[in-house]
Amino acid sequence: VLLSFLIAGIASAAAAFSYAEFAGLIPKAGSAYTYGYAVLGEVVGWFIGWDLLLEYTAIVAVVAIGISGYFNFLLDQVGINLPQWMLGAPGTEPAGVAPGTYKVNLIAVVLCLFIAFLLTRGIRAAARFETVVVGIKVAVVLVVVVVGFFYVKTGNLTPFAPAGFSGAMSGAALVFFAVFGYDAMSTAAEESKDAQRHMPKAIVYSLIISMVLYVLACIVLTGMQDYTEIDPKSGFSTAFASVGLSGLGTVIAAGAVIGILTVMFTFMLGVTRVWYAMSRDGLLPQWFAKTHPVRRVPTRVTWIAGVISAVLAGVLPIIDVAELTNIGILLAFVVVCVAVIV
């Protein structure tokens, strides 16, 4: 887990500096689509634009599924048991639950639609929400790192790479979208103050901060609990519960539900801005570029993205949706880095 995140961070670093370069040169909505369109031409822009629409929408769905796991853990801790049909996508039933019991991940569906609603309220209101929730998220991560450090058992870190280097590389191929927020950040360049000055710094700083927090959290998680026992749905909460800190595990679950909403927010913002930019440039129908007359945000594409991500989150397993994201991210990396060279 730790090696996978380290490899993912290193792989993302070159692309992050490329994005920072373009954010200073071309402070327009659209991120990799706009950069590819401006430097490599309309055909490349069209392909990478559709690529970004796929990956951003899939990431929103992945994160919604992840939050639903923590939400279910939180409800179990307070004695609330939801009907089993709404707890997950078909085919994701755990051991002891009859196949076919799960029908839809209703919590993930509602979360996707809720984020779409927030984004239609206007960028100022959405940014205020994002600021508050990011503060909560960082505080929860720091609590996890500081408290969890005292429960780390070095024996759990031996062998350090039980699946070998190839296993770490396979993990990195799945998780490197987790440090891809700087791309989505650059989609909002037109709505930022003095983007040419501030956006490049924000991109680089965000990658550094997020990777430090990811690595520290991974050390704590894999040190507290044997990697074979980590719960893929609510890893940190169950890890703390396993060492007798169920109360803190509940707090972490609550913080995770609130904090990880920011990831959904960021990537749904990204998909709507890329969609808007492509429509404004004439590569998609102009109907999609229509903005709200008062709030000045593209509400049409926001609701479409919300519904599509809700469908993916409701009926697909998390691993299937995660795999959808990575080929898109890789192509975006390649396009932006080649555009810098050109």
CB neighbourhood size of 253 (10 A): 27
Query: Do residues 296 and 122 lie in contact, with contact meaning Cβ atoms separated by under 8 Å?
Result: yes
Confidence at residue 310, expressed as pLDDT on a 0 to 100 scale: 93
Cα→Cα distances 292→120, 121, 271, 288, Å: 8, 10, 17, 11
**Bridge partners, 105 (sequence order):** 87
pLDDT tens-digit series, residues 215-262:
899 889 989 988 888 887 778 888 888 888 888 888 887 887 787 788
Helix (H, G, I), strand (E, B) or coil at 259: helix
Does residue 143 have a pLDDT over 80? Answer: yes
pLDDT tens-digit series, residues 183-217:
777 777 777 777 778 888 888 888 888 888 888 99
Q: How confident is the model at residue 104 (pLDDT cuts 50, 70, 90)?
A: confident
Does residue 285 have a pLDDT over 80? Answer: yes
